[in-house]
Amino acid sequence: MYQEPKLKRYCCQCGEPFMARRKSAIYCSPACRVAAFRTAQNARAKPKVRSKKKQPTEVEIPELVTCIGCDTQMWLYKHNKQRLYCSSACKQRAYRARKDRGVNVWGMYHAHS
């Protein structure tokens, strides 16, 4: 059975001698390889600049609205203005009712064949 000759090398991370199995080996262990990668990442990382304290944002006051599917009261926040139904189940129920009446998604009637 053929065995490749092992090369004596020095680890680029810790400096310890080791017997390399490949010509391209530069680290003695996976731990040294990971440590070298992490130190390179930290060196390349941009230094974090601490900004001034953020001013508190305006408190969002919800609006009380009615679900168009089941007439349940629900709170509607400013970031969620498109919400018309109180839940996914209610939305699906309304869609199926429209579908049964012959109204398509866009609100136009179509003939059943």
If DSSP states are collapsed to H, E and C, what string results for the chain?
Answer: CCCCCCEEEECCCCCCEEEECCCCCCCCCHHHHHHHHHHHHHHHCCCCCCCCCCCCCCCCCCEEEECCCCCCEEEECHHHCCCCCCCHHHHHHHHHHHHHHCECCCCCECCCC
pLDDT at 113: 45
The answer to whether the predicted template modeling score (pTM) of the entire model surpasses 0.75 is no
pLDDT at 53: 63
pLDDT at 1: 60
pLDDT at 86: 86
The residues spanned by each domain of the chain are: 7-44, 63-101
